[in-house]
Amino acid sequence: MGIILLITVLIASAFSVPVSKNLQVINFSTSPIFINNTWTITGGTYSFKSTVNVVNGGKLIVENSTLYFIQDALNPISLNVNSGGTLILRNSTLTVTPDQYAPSINFTLNSNGGSLLLYNSIIKYPGWLNVSNSKDVKIINSKFIGENSSQLGQLLKYGYPQSALPYVVYGPTPFFYNVTLLIKNSSFPSLFQSQKSVNSYSGTFPSTGTFPVTISSTSPSITTVSNAFKVTGFPSFITFYNCTVVLNISEGSGYSGDSQIYFNFYNLNNINNPVPIQFSQNPQNFTFNINFQNTYYIVNSTSLSKANNFLINITKPTSGSITVNYVKIILYTYKFNFIKQNFNILSSTVYASDLY
């Protein structure tokens, strides 16, 4: 007769080199967990109750196992694979436990700059799969699904909102940006079929500070960013939006025409470790004192994401000066149907076969 061993553990936010084999384990830590070495789960089940961050040098390897994330509506969590980190799932299931008081089963797997291998595995939860800035993403013989319809009654029993119930049967919405992706013999049978996307005006947000501001040359070469114009006050809990950055800049006498503009948005998908997302422009010439406008499509990773500081930085010219008369951002948000799109790929290289 086989013996099932149930182990309850409380582990700090940093691990040595743990290996879990053929066990049923619940990690009761509610503080963010950072994996910076190799951690292997082989056979059995393992459950987390906190956000897991696989950081540079870390590997989370799950083989022949079920990996659960336990969360409620007041404490949503996520799995984040940061730059230099690796997540490997082989013959395994990654899912969310729904049988909690005030359950929340909308989950997010984020990979930004990390390596991702999903082989012969099941990704089972309603929510998001966000993968960006990686040259090593492989999805082979895997399936992405939502919750079973048979579990709907159980969700209601534990307080899941009736209005949100129809959406839990959909699998995670994939979003791939700036990645090299190999995906073969994999299925997405329960993608949300959105009917339309609606662009909704949210507001115009001026930069703080006193204008005009003059930026003058101090050296024969561009070495540093001169001024950072800060824009705040964005609505919280936005998942998708775009913004138009508007600048009014006058060209001064002797201006060399080589100032550069940078846009830095601090994305708080990890509130303790904001990650800047930078967009840069080529050298600008402001001869006609016109508004500079450009629209950027920003993606926040989770429902916890919150627009924070948007910085518009301008480098010093090599000669002469420019005067910034005002800076503002016009913000548009998208309604729910746009958030739950089918399959999103932007600025990526994809090698795909046998998808269904």
Answer whether the bond into residue 206 is a cis peptide, omega within 30°: no
Q: What percent of the chain has pLDDT over 70?
A: 66
**Which is more confident, 132 or 332?**
132
Residue 300 counted as domain residue: yes
What angle is formed at CA 264 by the lines to CA 258 and CA 267, rounded to 5 degrees? 170
Residues 221 and 348 in one domain: no
Do residues 60 and 179 share a domain? yes
Q: Are residues 182 and 41 in the same domain?
A: yes
Distance CA 267, CA 248 (A): 26
**Is 1 a member of any domain?**
no
Dihedral angle of Cα 140, 297, 85, 26, to the nearest 10 degrees: -80
Token pair in block for residue 329: 């951002």
Q: 97 or 130, which is more confident?
A: 130
Q: Lowest-confidence range among 20-24, 79-83, 348-352?
A: 20-24
Q: Are residues 116 and 47 in the same domain?
A: yes
Pairing of strands 213-216, 321-334: antiparallel
Q: 108-120: per-residue pLDDT in tens?
A: 899 999 999 999 9
Using only C-alpha atoms, what is the Rg of the chain?
23
Pairing of strands 122-124, 93-97: parallel
Mean pLDDT, residues 49-70 taken together: 93
The DSSP bridge partners found for residue 137 are 116, 181
**Same domain for 11 and 86:** yes
Q: How far is CA 53 from the centre of its chain?
A: 12
| Predicted confidence (pLDDT) per residue in 17-32, tens digit | 456 565 566 777 778 8
- The token duo for 201 is 């005006």
Give the domain CATH number at 311: 2.60.120.660
Q: Which residues pair with 216 in a beta bridge?
A: 321
Host domain of residue 308: 199-336
Asked if residue 253 and residue 166 are part of one domain, the reply reads: no
The residues that bridge with 91 in the sheet, in sequence order, are none
- Long-range contacts of range 231-234, CB-CB < 8 Å, 24 or more positions apart? 231/205, 231/206, 231/207, 231/309, 231/310, 231/311, 231/312, 231/327, 231/328, 231/329, 232/205, 232/208, 232/308, 232/309, 232/310, 233/203, 233/205, 234/202, 234/205, 234/306, 234/307, 234/308, 234/310, 234/331
Helix, strand, coil % over all residues of the chain, rounded to 5: 5, 55, 40
In total, how many domains does the chain have? Answer: 2
The verdict on 316 and 234 lying in the same domain is yes
262 token code pair: 């940078």
| Claim to verify: residue 189 and residue 208 sit in the same structural domain | no
Whether residue 166 is found in the same domain as residue 204: no
Spatial CA neighbour of 143 closest among 106, 107, 89: 89
Amino acid in position 22 = N
Kindly state whether residues 21 and 162 are assigned to the same domain.
yes
- Which pLDDT does position 9 carry in this prediction? 40
